[in-house]
Amino acid sequence: MRAYMLASLLLLLGGCASPLPPPDPQQAWVNLYAPAGELLMADRVDRQRWPDGRYFQVSPGPHDLQVRFQFEVNRGGGLGMSSEPLELTCEIRLRYADFKAGQRYRIEARSMAMSAQAWLYDEQRQVLTRGKVLRCGTAY
Protein backbone atom coordinates (compact mmCIF):
# COMPACT_ATOMS: atom_id res chain seq x y z
CA MET A 1 0.00 0.00 0.00
CA ARG A 2 2.64 2.46 1.03
CA ALA A 3 4.64 1.56 -2.07
CA TYR A 4 1.67 2.52 -4.25
CA MET A 5 1.26 5.85 -2.43
CA LEU A 6 5.00 6.50 -2.70
CA ALA A 7 4.96 5.69 -6.43
CA SER A 8 1.97 8.01 -6.93
CA LEU A 9 3.70 10.76 -4.98
CA LEU A 10 6.90 10.36 -7.01
CA LEU A 11 4.90 10.56 -10.24
CA LEU A 12 3.18 13.67 -8.96
CA LEU A 13 6.48 15.24 -7.94
CA GLY A 14 7.95 14.30 -11.30
CA GLY A 15 5.02 16.03 -12.93
CA CYS A 16 5.68 19.09 -10.80
CA ALA A 17 9.17 19.25 -12.26
CA SER A 18 7.66 20.11 -15.61
CA PRO A 19 5.77 23.39 -15.73
CA LEU A 20 2.03 23.47 -16.19
CA PRO A 21 1.00 24.48 -19.68
CA PRO A 22 -0.32 28.02 -20.03
CA PRO A 23 -4.12 28.13 -19.69
CA ASP A 24 -5.89 28.30 -23.05
CA PRO A 25 -8.30 31.28 -22.93
CA GLN A 26 -10.71 29.31 -25.14
CA GLN A 27 -11.03 26.61 -22.45
CA ALA A 28 -11.88 26.29 -18.76
CA TRP A 29 -9.09 25.45 -16.29
CA VAL A 30 -9.72 23.26 -13.24
CA ASN A 31 -7.23 23.21 -10.33
CA LEU A 32 -7.21 20.43 -7.73
CA TYR A 33 -6.82 20.76 -3.96
CA ALA A 34 -6.59 18.26 -1.09
CA PRO A 35 -5.33 18.73 2.48
CA ALA A 36 -1.66 18.04 3.22
CA GLY A 37 -0.88 14.33 3.34
CA GLU A 38 -3.74 13.48 0.96
CA LEU A 39 -3.48 13.16 -2.82
CA LEU A 40 -6.05 14.32 -5.38
CA MET A 41 -5.36 13.63 -9.04
CA ALA A 42 -7.21 14.30 -12.29
CA ASP A 43 -8.10 10.99 -13.93
CA ARG A 44 -10.75 11.23 -16.69
CA VAL A 45 -12.69 13.77 -18.73
CA ASP A 46 -15.90 12.50 -20.28
CA ARG A 47 -14.77 8.91 -19.55
CA GLN A 48 -11.48 9.35 -21.45
CA ARG A 49 -8.13 9.22 -19.64
CA TRP A 50 -6.68 12.64 -18.88
CA PRO A 51 -2.87 12.76 -19.44
CA ASP A 52 -1.87 15.04 -16.53
CA GLY A 53 -3.02 14.42 -12.96
CA ARG A 54 -2.33 17.99 -11.82
CA TYR A 55 -5.25 19.80 -13.51
CA PHE A 56 -8.05 19.62 -16.07
CA GLN A 57 -8.51 21.90 -19.07
CA VAL A 58 -11.86 21.50 -20.83
CA SER A 59 -13.86 23.09 -23.61
CA PRO A 60 -16.89 25.22 -22.70
CA GLY A 61 -20.09 23.33 -21.94
CA PRO A 62 -20.95 20.16 -20.04
CA HIS A 63 -18.30 17.74 -18.79
CA ASP A 64 -17.98 14.68 -16.60
CA LEU A 65 -14.74 14.88 -14.57
CA GLN A 66 -13.35 11.98 -12.58
CA VAL A 67 -10.65 12.26 -9.91
CA ARG A 68 -8.75 9.82 -7.70
CA PHE A 69 -8.42 10.75 -4.07
CA GLN A 70 -5.95 8.89 -1.80
CA PHE A 71 -5.82 9.22 1.96
CA GLU A 72 -5.01 7.21 5.07
CA VAL A 73 -7.41 6.19 7.83
CA ASN A 74 -6.46 4.82 11.22
CA ARG A 75 -8.07 1.48 11.80
CA GLY A 76 -7.63 1.57 15.56
CA GLY A 77 -6.31 -1.69 16.95
CA GLY A 78 -8.49 -1.73 20.07
CA LEU A 79 -7.36 -3.10 23.44
CA GLY A 80 -4.19 -1.05 23.23
CA MET A 81 -3.05 -2.81 20.07
CA SER A 82 -1.81 -0.53 17.34
CA SER A 83 -2.23 -1.21 13.67
CA GLU A 84 -0.93 0.23 10.44
CA PRO A 85 -3.03 2.97 8.88
CA LEU A 86 -5.13 1.85 5.95
CA GLU A 87 -4.65 3.66 2.63
CA LEU A 88 -7.85 4.21 0.67
CA THR A 89 -8.36 5.40 -2.88
CA CYS A 90 -11.72 6.82 -3.86
CA GLU A 91 -12.88 7.50 -7.39
CA ILE A 92 -15.13 10.54 -7.50
CA ARG A 93 -17.17 11.90 -10.42
CA LEU A 94 -18.18 15.54 -10.77
CA ARG A 95 -20.63 16.55 -13.48
CA TYR A 96 -21.10 20.18 -14.44
CA ALA A 97 -23.08 21.48 -17.40
CA ASP A 98 -21.78 25.03 -17.85
CA PHE A 99 -17.99 25.32 -17.95
CA LYS A 100 -17.06 28.69 -19.46
CA ALA A 101 -14.03 29.58 -21.59
CA GLY A 102 -11.33 31.53 -19.75
CA GLN A 103 -12.76 30.71 -16.30
CA ARG A 104 -10.89 28.99 -13.48
CA TYR A 105 -12.50 26.33 -11.34
CA ARG A 106 -11.32 24.29 -8.36
CA ILE A 107 -12.08 20.77 -7.18
CA GLU A 108 -11.55 20.24 -3.47
CA ALA A 109 -11.69 16.87 -1.73
CA ARG A 110 -11.50 15.70 1.85
CA SER A 111 -11.71 12.39 3.64
CA MET A 112 -14.76 11.41 5.65
CA ALA A 113 -13.97 8.32 7.76
CA MET A 114 -13.89 5.47 5.19
CA SER A 115 -15.16 7.61 2.29
CA ALA A 116 -14.64 11.04 0.74
CA GLN A 117 -16.36 14.23 -0.34
CA ALA A 118 -15.55 16.57 -3.23
CA TRP A 119 -16.90 19.84 -4.58
CA LEU A 120 -16.42 21.94 -7.71
CA TYR A 121 -16.10 25.68 -7.04
CA ASP A 122 -16.06 28.69 -9.34
CA GLU A 123 -13.71 31.69 -8.99
CA GLN A 124 -16.03 33.28 -6.40
CA ARG A 125 -15.90 30.10 -4.25
CA GLN A 126 -19.51 29.25 -5.04
CA VAL A 127 -20.25 25.52 -4.97
CA LEU A 128 -21.27 24.48 -8.47
CA THR A 129 -21.67 20.75 -7.88
CA ARG A 130 -20.85 18.06 -5.38
CA GLY A 131 -18.93 14.95 -6.35
CA LYS A 132 -20.38 11.47 -6.34
CA VAL A 133 -18.16 8.79 -4.84
CA LEU A 134 -18.12 5.92 -7.34
CA ARG A 135 -16.08 3.57 -5.16
CA CYS A 136 -13.49 3.50 -2.41
CA GLY A 137 -11.09 0.73 -1.65
CA THR A 138 -7.57 -0.33 -0.80
CA ALA A 139 -6.41 -1.69 -4.16
CA TYR A 140 -6.71 0.55 -7.24
Q: What is the pLDDT of residue 83?
A: 72
Residue pair 23/40 in contact by the 8 Å Cβ criterion: no
Q: What is the pLDDT of residue 78?
A: 56
DSSP string, 90-113: EEEEEEEEEE-TT-EEEEEEEEET
* CA 37 – CA 79 distance, rounded (Å): 27
Per-residue pLDDT of the chain (140 residues; tens, 9 = 90+): 455 444 454 454 454 568 888 889 999 999 999 999 999 999 999 999 999 999 999 999 999 999 999 999 887 655 555 577 889 999 999 999 999 999 999 999 999 888 899 999 999 999 999 999 999 998 65
This prediction has a pTM of 0.81
